[in-house]
């Protein structure tokens, strides 16, 4: 997992994602975003900060595919409103 921090005025998250993608591509891998958070600069000078946490995975890594969840057909939900 790697982390990038940026402080820029506009497009902070977009720029961070571009940089992370370039980094992974330079290793012949694909990016898997773990999580991202953005906030205003501590000095309130019109800047923004973004942190992204990501993995660089080999192109056929199973983690790159979205898992499909299906509900358990035997699942029973009861609501008791007294």
| Residues 8-44: tens digit of each pLDDT | 445 777 888 899 999 999 999 999 988 887 776 666 5
Would you state the pLDDT for residue 54?
92
Residues found in the chain = 82
CATH 3.30.160 holds for 2-62: no
H helix and E strand count, the chain: 1, 3
pTM: 0.60
Nearest 5°: the CA angle 40, 43, 48 is 25
Question: pLDDT by residue (tens digit) across 47-56?
Answer: 667 788 999 9
CA distance 67 to 22: 25
């Amino acid at each position: 997992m790697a982390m990038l921090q940026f402080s820029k005025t506009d497009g902070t998250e977009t720029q961070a994602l571009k940089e992370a993608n370039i980094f992974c591509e330079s290793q012949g891998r694909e990016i898997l975003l773990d999580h991202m958070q953005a906030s205003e600069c501590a000095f309130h000078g019109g800047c923004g900060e973004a942190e992204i946490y990501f993995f660089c995975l080999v192109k056929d890594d199973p983690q790159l595919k979205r898992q499909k969840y299906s509900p358990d057909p035997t699942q029973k939900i009861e609501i008791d409103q007294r």
